[in-house]
Every structure is written in structure tokens, then in C-alpha cells.
């Protein structure tokens, strides 16, 4: 067991038990410590919270804990000598350890979680199993990271790696007892005429009991390109642990979270326990390349595989903090544009033609420079007209987010952001549209001093959309703006603008059952309220699920803000990976409990 990952004792916001960073292990759930050393006072019979008397325990008379009495005294009296792990007190070390485990169950069964006593006991067993097997889980992630499942580069060798990755994941799921269907998607026609086979999509099912809720997990098995020569400090396809950080391509995006879900399911199986929910998996291998053919499969299976699904869970995002977990309830959309300026297909010699023609690069730079001002505000007329007004509730949620702006700036290696407050930063990441210029195709970009005038260049930029922006309206506004700017230059070149991608923003209802279940699970595992955040990026599949199969979507991220997805030295913290496995297990039980309560007559 790694240092710092101990008993799964969880802080309860409804008791006088608190957890601080000094009293936590590096990777384990929060250790308990009493906020007051005063003995409990007899204030009459306990009512309201706590466990029902039918479970055969006398209730503690203390109104502070309202928990079952243990060994003739209340949990708060016992915790004083045991929860900190400092002095065993008069009970002795063996009894102290026993009481610590009992206390964990009492608090799980209290006001913070909706779980019953038996569910809380089961969850403690699962937590212990995960802790004891965490090195095995890391080795499993190492095996997954070793497969170079790059979907972005369309080459036969990497496509074979993708097929190998899908086969390995299917094998893991069959080992859990799941029925697994590998759905073939045919071939992909590339612009150069080459054809490559598409990796199949995994549809897997565990359980089909009508009295249980059905939760479907979406994940992807492919990764972005990576090479040690591009700035990685380690081999990107050899998982390397340094100071509790697991470095490797796909560690956080998305192999680690997919395996954390598998780890959670596997823990119930290994303990011989029934899963509290029916579980389905949809795992694809082309997410980083645009989820080729996925939408068609979802449409085809909406009355088949997805029938009976209560919610979809996606764990393909990051927290906004290095420490505090988050729940994501919205993402921005994306319109991706290309603008081409063409004089001719061949380049020119600048000594022969410089000064006597309209240079395509100068035209393109002027066009791209007209899109935003120095503060990042988009200059396209009318672009903000359909942005939904910001509510005071949204501003309040931004103010409560655990964002250390200076830490965020330093970890991002940025000298200065455009804005100085947390609220302004988060609003511009989540709530307002943004425009980014991505590159220029056809320009000379290699080392040296090649003196050419490009005959044709293409600029690439995108606009992140927010509610209630309309894709077709944005496309029209962009084209009209660029045509107006180009006309003002009186250039003899030809300009062509095209929108190559249009994706809607997504927003969820945070009052849905899966958000309440996830919030309670986070409190149980991490001992804190989650940040309620949006994500400035775009995850198209969320909107696809919501629109086509009419199911609620929950985004439950595991990765910390500094994980570096898509970048060099991508990593996931061991703590996030292991505690994330526990989080999914707790989520299963919370979903089951809420489902049971919803079906109970008043």
C-alpha cells in the first residue's frame, strides 16, 4: 500500500467532524478529527438523521452526531482517541482500530450520504479492496499506456495499435463478466485516396435487472500523437511514476478514467458482491479524430443498446483545481473555419515579385488580425447578439470555485492573463464566446531563410460557442465580416471562407439525480463539496447523447487541472486515479439508493 492511502474514513459535513489537508494522507480519503473535544451532552432522544432504530442499535443521545451508540458511548467520544491515529486512548490499539472502522460506517450512514448501513459497510469493503490493489491498478494502466493508440495520424501501423487497444479493453470487460459486442464501422476514406479500417466500437453490458437503475459509461481508448523528441521528459508510452504522478500519453485522457470505472466494477466482482446498478459501456477508438461514425451508431442503437439507460456518465475532463474535485454541467460548442487567399498555386521569388503584387500572406494576416482586439474581444459584428444573459446564480457559482489564479498562471507558464479576477477568468472560459487562431497552412515555417512569397495560404481559426448562439448565424456573420475586410483591401487575389466544423454547446440540469449522486459520492471519497463548473472545451458526444437518445448526461472528471491532456508530459496523479476508482464505486451505490427512494411511495 502506498504511503498516505489509509482507511477510507470520510468527513461528514453534518457532524462536528472535520478534515484538513494536514490530517489527510497524500492519496487516501479524509482522516477524521473532532472539531471539539467537549464530551457529548445528553439532550434527549435522537431524531431525524442517522440510522433507523430497526437496525438494532441504540441511538446516541448527542444531537451533534445522532449516530448509533457504540460500546456504551457515542462516536464523538470514541473518535477523540482514535480518528487521528495518534493516541489509542484507554481503549487500546486493537479496539481503536475497530472503532475507527465502525466510525467510518456511522458517518457514511449519516447526513452526508443517503446510503444505508449495509451499503456503507459494503462501500468500506470496496474502498479497502481498492487501496490494497492499487499497485495492480497502476500496472494495468501501464499496460494500456504502452499501446500507441494514436487515431490522429492515419497510418497503418497506428491503426493496428488502435485495434490492439480495443481488443485489450474488450478482454478486460469480458473478464468482469460483461457481454461484449464489437461493432464494426467499416473503413475511413482519406483525402489522398488511402483507405484505412476504422476500429470497432465496444458496446458492453453488465446486469439487466429492471428494479435497478442503468448507468452507461462513455469513454475513448485513442490518444493524441506523442514523441519523446517533442519535449517529453520520459517515454510517453512507458508509464512513469514520479512523486505520485503517473506520466504517460492517455494517462488522464482517457485511459486512466476508463480503467477507474473498470476498477470500481472489478472491486464489487472480486468481493463477490452484486453490482448496485446495471452498467453499460460504450468505448470508442476515434474520439481524438472527431468520433468518426459514432453519431450514426448512437442513432441506430437509440432503441436498442441505449433503451432503458437512465443516464450517461462521461469522465473526459479536468478539475479547475489541483486539489478540489469538480462536477461539470456545461461545455462550449465550436465552429471551426478556414480562410484561403490564393494568387496562384506556385510560390513566388520575393526578389522578382516583391513589391509588385498583392501578396496572399499579407491579405491573410490582415484578415486574421481583424477578428479580435488586443483584449480578446471578438470584432465580428453581431457575434454577441445571441449570447444568453449571465445570471446572478452563475456569477455566484463562479465565486465559489476553488481556483488559485496565481497557481493556475504559473502552472500554465503564462506571464499574465487578460483578466485579473477569478470571476472574470471563469466567465471568459465558460460563459462567453472566444476566438482562437490556430495556424497558417502553405507558409514557410521551417528553420532557415527561404525568401519566397507563398502563392496560396490558408488560415485556420475557431470560435467557441455558448448558449444561445446559433451555428448557421455565426457562419453567416463570419463570412460577411471577412468578405467586407477583404473588399477594403482591393486585392486581386481570391478569397474563400468555409466552416469545416459546427458543434453546439451542451448544458445539463444539475438537479438531475445523477448530479446529486455524484455530489454525495465526492463528499464521501474526498470529504469536500465539489466545484460546480463548466468546461470551455467541446465534447460533442454529450450533446449527441442528449439530443438523439434523450438521456441525461453527467460529466464526472477525475483529472487535476495540471494533468496536461494533449500536451507533453501528460499525467494523472496516483491519488486521482485510485480515489477516482472509489468515487465511481460510491456513485454506483448513491445512484441505486436514489433510484430506490424515488420508487418508494410517499
Q: State the catalytic residues.
A: 222, 287
Contact assessment for residue 301 and residue 203, using Cβ atoms and an 8 Å cutoff:
yes
Helix (H) or strand (E) holding 183: strand 179-183
Gap between the Cα atoms of 504 and 450, Å rounded:
42
Q: Please list, in sequence order, all residues whose beta carbon lies within 8 angstroms of the beta carbon of residue 47, skipping any fewer than 6 positions away.
A: 66
Tell me the C-alpha to C-alpha distance, in Å, between residue 547 and each of 411, 449, 553: 37, 52, 11
Gap between the Cα atoms of 457 and 480, Å rounded:
20
Our CA dihedral for 396, 399, 401, 402, rounded to 10 degrees, sits at -160
Tell me the C-alpha to C-alpha distance, in Å, between residue 328 and each of 313, 324, 554, 567, 570: 11, 13, 7, 22, 21
Partners of residue 196 on adjacent β-strands: 188
Gap between the Cα atoms of 572 and 108, Å rounded:
27
Q: What stretches of 354-443 adopt beta strand conformation (E)?
A: 434-441
Gap between the Cα atoms of 455 and 446, Å rounded:
17
Cell numbers of 589, please?
A: 451505490
3-state secondary structure 73-120: ECHHHHHHHHCCCCCCHHHCHHHHHHHHHHHHHHHHCCCCCCCCHHHH
3-state secondary structure 128-154: HHHHHCHHHHHHHHHHHHCCCCECCCC
Contact assessment for residue 505 and residue 465, using Cβ atoms and an 8 Å cutoff:
yes
Cell numbers of 352, please?
A: 522578382
Gap between the Cα atoms of 148 and 137, Å rounded:
19
Cell numbers of 156, please?
A: 497503418
Gap between the Cα atoms of 313 and 557, Å rounded:
10
For residue 461, give the 3-state DSSP assignment. Answer: strand
Amino acid at each position: 500500500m502506498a504511503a498516505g492511502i489509509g482507511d477510507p474514513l470520510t468527513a461528514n459535513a453534518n457532524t462536528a467532524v472535520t478534515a484538513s489537508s494536514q490530517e489527510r494522507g497524500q492519496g487516501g480519503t479524509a482522516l477524521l478529527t473532532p472539531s471539539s473535544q467537549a464530551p457529548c451532552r445528553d439532550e434527549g432522544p435522537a431524531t431525524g438523521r442517522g440510522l433507523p432504530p430497526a437496525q438494532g442499535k441504540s441511538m446516541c443521545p448527542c444531537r451533534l452526531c445522532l449516530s448509533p451508540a457504540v460500546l456504551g458511548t457515542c462516536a464523538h467520544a470514541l473518535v477523540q482517541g482514535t480518528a487521528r491515529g495518534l493516541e489509542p486512548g484507554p481503549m487500546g490499539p486493537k479496539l481503536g482500530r475497530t472503532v475507527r472502522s465502525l466510525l467510518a460506517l456511522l458517518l457514511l450512514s449519516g447526513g452526508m450520504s443517503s446510503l444505508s448501513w449495509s451499503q456503507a459497510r459494503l462501500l468500506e469493503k470496496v474502498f479497502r479492496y481498492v487501496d490494497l490493489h492499487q499497485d495492480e491498478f497502476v500496472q494495468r494502466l501501464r499496460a494500456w499506456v504502452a499501446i500507441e493508440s494514436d487515431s490522429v495520424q492515419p497510418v497503418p501501423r497506428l491503426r493496428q495499435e488502435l485495434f490492439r487497444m480495443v481488443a485489450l479493453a474488450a478482454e478486460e470487460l469480458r473478464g468482469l463478466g460483461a457481454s461484449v459486442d464489437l461493432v464494426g464501422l467499416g473503413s475511413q476514406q482519406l483525402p489522398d485516396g488511402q483507405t484505412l479500417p476504422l476500429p470497432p466500437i465496444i458496446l458492453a453490458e453488465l446486469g439487466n435487472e429492471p428494479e435497478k437503475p442503468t448507468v452507461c459509461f462513455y469513454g475513448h481508448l485513442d490518444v493524441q500523437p506523442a514523441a519523446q523528441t517533442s519535449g517529453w521528459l520520459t517515454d510517453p508510452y512507458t508509464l512513469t511514476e514520479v512523486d505520485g504522478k503517473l506520466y504517460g500519453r492517455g494517462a488522464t485522457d482517457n485511459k486512466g478514467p476508463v480503467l477507474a470505472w473498470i476498477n470500481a466494477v472489478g472491486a464489487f466482482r472480486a468481493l463477490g458482491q452484486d453490482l448496485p446498478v446495471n452498467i453499460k459501456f460504450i468505448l470508442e477508438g476515434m474520439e481524438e479524430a472527431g468520433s468518426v461514425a459514432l453519431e450514426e451508431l448512437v442513432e441506430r442503437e437509440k432503441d436498442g443498446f441505449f433503451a432503458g439507460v437512465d443516464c450517461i456518465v462521461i469522465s473526459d475532463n479536468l478539475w479547475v483545481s489541483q486539489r478540489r474535485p469538480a462536477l461539470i454541467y456545461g461545455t462550449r460548442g465550436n465552429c471551426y473555419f478556414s480562410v484561403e487567399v490564393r494568387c496562384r498555386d506556385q510560390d513566388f521569388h520575393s526578389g522578382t515579385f516583391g513589391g509588385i503584387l498583392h501578396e496572399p500572406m499579407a491579405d491573410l494576416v490582415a484578415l486574421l488580425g481583424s477578428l479580435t482586439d488586443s483584449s480578446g474581444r471578438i470584432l465580428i459584428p453581431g457575434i454577441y447578439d445571441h449570447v444568453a444573459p449571465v445570471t446572478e446564480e452563475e456569477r455566484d457559482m463562479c465565486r465559489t470555485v476553488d481556483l488559485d489564479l496565481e497557481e493556475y498562471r504559473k502552472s500554465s507558464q503564462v506571464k499574465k492573463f487578460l483578466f485579473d479576477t477569478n470571476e472574470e477568468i471563469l466567465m471568459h472560459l465558460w460563459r462567453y464566446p472566444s476566438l482562437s487562431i490556430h495556424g497558417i497552412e502553405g507558409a514557410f515555417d521551417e528553420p532557415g531563410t527561404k525568401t519566397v512569397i507563398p502563392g496560396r495560404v490558408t488560415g485556420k481559426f475557431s470560435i467557441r460557442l455558448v448558449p444561445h448562439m446559433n451555428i448557421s448565424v455565426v457562419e453567416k456573420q463570419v463570412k460577411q465580416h471577412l468578405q467586407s475586410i477583404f473588399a477594403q483591401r482591393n486585392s486581386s487575389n481570391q478569397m474563400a471562407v468555409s466552416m469545416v466544423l459546427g458543434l453546439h454547446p451542451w448544458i445539463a440540469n444539475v438537479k438531475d439525480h445523477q448530479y446529486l449522486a455524484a455530489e454525495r459520492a465526492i463528499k464521501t471519497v474526498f470529504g469536500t463539496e465539489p466545484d460546480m463548473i463548466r468546461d470551455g472545451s467541446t465534447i460533442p458526444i454529450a450533446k449527441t447523447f442528449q439530443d438523439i437518445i434523450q438521456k441525461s448526461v453527467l460529466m464526472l472528471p477525475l483529472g487535476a487541472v495540471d494533468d496536461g491532456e494533449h500536451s507533453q508530459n501528460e499525467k494523472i496523479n496516483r491519488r486521482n486515479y485510485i480515489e477516482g476508482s472509489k468515487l465511481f464505486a460510491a456513485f454506483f451505490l448513491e445512484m441505486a439508493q436514489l433510484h430506490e427512494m424515488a420508487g418508494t411511495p410517499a
